Structure 1
Amino acid sequence: MALPLETILDLMDLLAAQEERRRQIEEAKAEMRTQKADVLAQKAEADTAAVDLNDYLKSLMRDRSCRASTACKAHIREVQQSLKDAKSGGLQALSASHFIQRKIDTLAGDLSIVLDGDEAYLRYRA
């Protein structure tokens, strides 16, 4: 089966386009991996803050003189809210890391050249 010169030239263009697209995909995946690492670092910070706040809150709750003070009770509520916010931040970071991983997985598809008679085109399958 001899292909027309135009189809061969199209195939050469498609090969170049395929290689460029693969390069772009690898760059995008590398960028997303960096984003995921940043998000996971944020999650670790939020988790550490939550543990520290929880320990501090426990120490406040054990202090009877603090529990009797109106100002200290208000401070306890502030610490409880900060703890809630830190836990929420950790969950949001975890959710973001899962979203980024799904995007990385989506880019991991198969990019191939398809010949259909005298036609040639790129096909991407996730």
Structure 2
Amino acid sequence: MNDKQQVERVFARLFNGGLIERVPKRADDAQVFLALAAASLPGAAHAETEVNLHLAAWLEDIVTPVSMDYVTVRRALVDAQFLLRDVSGHRYSPNFRKISSVLTEEAMQVRPVDVMIQVHAEREARRRARVS
């Protein structure tokens, strides 16, 4: 199970080259990324449109839109069983049993955009230190 600091380190590594371009290839990183995306959804069942809108907002500031979109992430969430689909395929619910096997409660509160801002600030500080 990943704690807050571990999740922040994963996202810092993912943001090292800028915005995230795809669901991470490393299995552990993908699990953290997907678990956090699923944890960001409220606990009730949602229509596909609601899930799409929520994921689009969650991804908006952290991914390259031409390379990864909410549909790709929603499908990955379902495939990895972080998001459960009802029998009819119209309603989705976060699988908190699976999410909590990957993230602690505190780690579920990490905001990737905050990690990205911190990574960029640290990079800028290092750049300024080299110039001085």
* Normalised-by-shorter TM-score class: under 0.3
State the structure with more CA Rg: 1
Q: TM-score, normalised by structure 2?
A: 0.27
- Which structure shows the higher strand fraction? 1
Tell me the TM-score normalized by structure 1: 0.27
